[in-house]
Structure 1
Amino acid sequence: MKTILVSRAVSKPGWWMFGVAMIAAAWWGQPLIDSVHFENHFFGVFWYSMVVLGLMFWALPGEQYTDGTILERRTMLLGLVPVWRKSEPMSGFERVELTQEPNVFGKDSVWLSLINREDGETTRRFVFAYFPASQRGIAKAQQMAGDLSQISGLPFAQAAPEV
């Protein structure tokens, strides 16, 4: 049996919270449409166009997939049906790496990537997943990096620094 590894946006609580927030925003904007004043209708059209735009981004989450031979980035309709795919061979990368990036607001981010370097310079990078740089996030990142290294056969090059 072939082992696969998937990083999905729909498995993160933020994706679900954003969907609930968009539904709440649509419900909250009802008085703009039901009003007798023309100005409110104008603002209602603007409000609902922003809600629809947010729902379009929400309805097309991304996911990364690998079975050890290929890497695939997919855009999924509601996390269920693929609408766009891009595949790359795993042979184009030489190692699995965790890097920590400082954020201006909130916790830092830890990025799980597959890297190819030439002459000390990164020539190719495929970001597989990201995590908040909390103790739990770093532990999840290290676990997924180990799984990705094992599935792909590529060495795990570095661990993210502890918080």
Structure 2
Amino acid sequence: MEAGLKPTLVSRAVAKPGWWIFGAAMFAAAWWGQPLVDSAHFENHFFGVFWYSMIVLGLMFWALPSEQFTDGSILERRTMLLGLLPLWRKREAISGFERVELTQEPNVFGKDSVWLSLISSEDGETTRRFVFAYFPASQRGIAKAQQMAGDLSQISGLPFAQAASEV
């Protein structure tokens, strides 16, 4: 790495296959609902309005993914329009956190989730948490989470604390 360049770490929702699959499913659902609008029956128009309002709501969430960024001194969460144009930013200093932590959380459906967070605590109680990324709790997901946690720890200078029983 050249002198003067700071290492950075970015976690982007648009880099995950699930974001692309959800978008494709929303567009397929919109195409599939066309007969509701083109129908001559009034009842179908009512269901068509409901169908397309739900699709629009889903596309609004899909079109505004978030990404997290750090250069070792600041943490930044950005809400992006289609992953390209930043619309909203929230910045926090890394100095306000004490450690990098992986936490596994059980899900009701599907695999558990592994959350990569920066933690600030007081008297053993967590007072602030900045979630940097999440992964499915598969072998590959846990390996990616541990790799990113190590990178985040190295870039931020914060220790990586991981409870062996959780992950």
Contact persistence 2:70–2:76 (CA under 8 A): yes
Contact persistence 2:65–2:81 (CA under 8 A): yes
Q: Deviations over 1:71-94 (max 9, x none)?
A: 011100000000011000000001
CA distance in 2, matches of 1:159, 1:5: 23
SS in 2 for 1:58: helix
CA distance in 1, matches of 2:45, 2:98: 57
Aligned-pair identity (%): 87
Q: Residues 1-163 of structure 1: matches in 2 within 5 Å? A: 1-158=5-162, 161=165
SS in 1 for 2:7: coil
CA distance in 1, matches of 2:118, 2:8: 16
Q: Which structure 1 residue ranges, 5 or more long, are not aligned?
A: none
Paired AA for residue 2 in structure 1: K
TM-score, length of structure 1 as denominator length: 0.96
Compared CA separation, residues 101 and 160, structure 1 to 2 (3 A): farther
Q: Deviations over 1:62-113 (max 9, x none)?
A: 1111010000111000000000110000000011011111112111111100
SS in 2 for 1:157: strand
Q: Deviations over 1:36-83 (max 9, x none)?
A: 111111111111111111111100001111010000111000000000
Q: Which structure 2 residue ranges, 5 or more long, are not aligned?
A: none
SS in 1 for 2:115: strand
**Count of aligned pairs between the two proteins:** 163
CA distance in 2, matches of 1:56, 1:124: 29
More deviation, 100-109/84-93: 100-109
